Amino acid sequence: EAVNPDSKIAEYLKGAIAVRDKDAVAKLKYFFQYLDSPEQDISLDAYAEFAIADYKDVSSLAVKLSPDIFVKWLRDPNTPPSRFGLYGYMLGLCGNAKEHAPILREMLDDPKRKYSSGLDGMIYGYVLLDPKAGWKYLMGLIADENSEFLTRYAVLRTLRVVWEQRSDLVKPEAVLEAMNALMSQGDIA
């Protein structure tokens, strides 16, 4: 494939090579700069680095970032829907409950938005920002008989992350109760 003469791919690859032996957070910090690159190949490659990164490394970077960038990206109609999960989750890590939890909730409730992927990250970000309201929202999705399979599956994925990574957010008994409620649904079980 031909590369546009003004492409930044050579610069991007040179930087990627320069950080290859650095610690995981330093690498992610480098790739973070390119998540919104106008060049799709660069943006996709940078995103792939986050997709394979450990939770603890993404968390270590996210808490140092401004939540404003994630709000901007989440509200941008050109943001690929596949990125909502990462951006919602990272907003949950660096944002604050008062300002950012309502933004995620508004996005979750927006009937014009259909989450083919990334819903789990959006829900998780909401739970991170406001554990009480986020958990109530999550449980409402489980209880709603009209919730689509993919919505309930996103809840299941969120429960798994809460259980494995952030047991401080919600009591383990509450996570098991939510899992039990999902397991009573034939298509999820």
H-helix segments, 64-184: 67-75, 84-94, 97-109, 119-129, 131-143, 149-165, 172-183
Residues whose CB is less than 8 angstroms from the CB of residue 108 and which lie 6 or more positions away in sequence, other chains included: 119, 122, 123, 126, 137
Q: What is the number of other CB atoms lying within 10 angstroms of the CB of residue 55?
A: 13
pLDDT digits (tens, 9 = 90+) for 148-185: 899 999 999 999 999 999 989 999 999 999 999 999 88
- pLDDT value of residue 97: 95
Residue 1 has pLDDT above 80, yes or no: no
Banded model confidence at residue 116, pLDDT cuts 50, 70, 90? low
Confidence at residue 179, expressed as pLDDT on a 0 to 100 scale: 94
CB 124 within 8 A of CB 166: no
Task: Give yes or no for residue 135 having a pLDDT over 80.
Answer: yes
Q: What is the largest CA-CA distance in the chain?
A: 58
Q: What's the pTM?
A: 0.91
Is the pLDDT at 93 greater than 80? The verdict is yes
- Nearest to 50, CA basis, from 71, 69, 39, 36: 36
Write out pLDDT tens, residues 94-104. Answer: 999 999 999 99
Residue 133 and residue 105 in contact, taking contact as beta carbons nearer than 8 Å: yes
Percent of the residues in the chain that have a pLDDT greater than 90, as a whole number: 78
Amino acid at 48: A
Query: What residue type is 27 in one-letter code?
Result: K
Rounded CA-CA distance 45/48 in Å is: 5
| Tokens describing residue 118 | 């990334």
- Say what the pLDDT of residue 111 is: 82
CA dist., res. 132 & res. 101, Å (int) = 11
Virtual torsion, Cα 67, 75, 160, 96, nearest 10 deg: 30
Task: Give mean pLDDT, residues 111-132.
Answer: 89
| pLDDT on residue 2 | 67
